[in-house]
Amino acid sequence: MHLTDIDDPAGTAIGDSVFDAFNLVSVEPITQTQDPYIAFDAVDRVELFNEVFGEWEPTATDPCAGTACHGTFPATR
């Protein structure tokens, strides 16, 4: 399953998507204690938008390597 807010993520300008609504510097950990429903979630990767190239790029450190983000979400900065 691939979740996205638009039909054509590769062909849609970032300003036309929901992604321009967020300017996150970090995300605190999300545990099953805080959010029991995260037990059913699996995040494959965390990417940052590169405004120079207009592309999504992987983070320097992959917080979701392997199954690290299955049922939980570690902090990312």
In-domain check, residue 34 = yes
Answer yes or no: is 6 within a domain: no
Average confidence (pLDDT) per 10 residues, the chain, 77 residues: 64 70 77 94 86 86 91 87
Q: Based on the structure, what is the number of domains in the chain?
A: 1
Distance CA 71, CA 39 (A): 4
The full DSSP string for 7-56 is: S-GGGS-GGGSGGGG---S-B--B-TTT-GGGGG-B----EEEETTTTEE
pLDDT at residue 1, as a whole number: 47
pTM, two decimal places = 0.64
Boundaries of domain holding 47 = 24-77
Q: What is the mean pLDDT of the chain?
A: 82
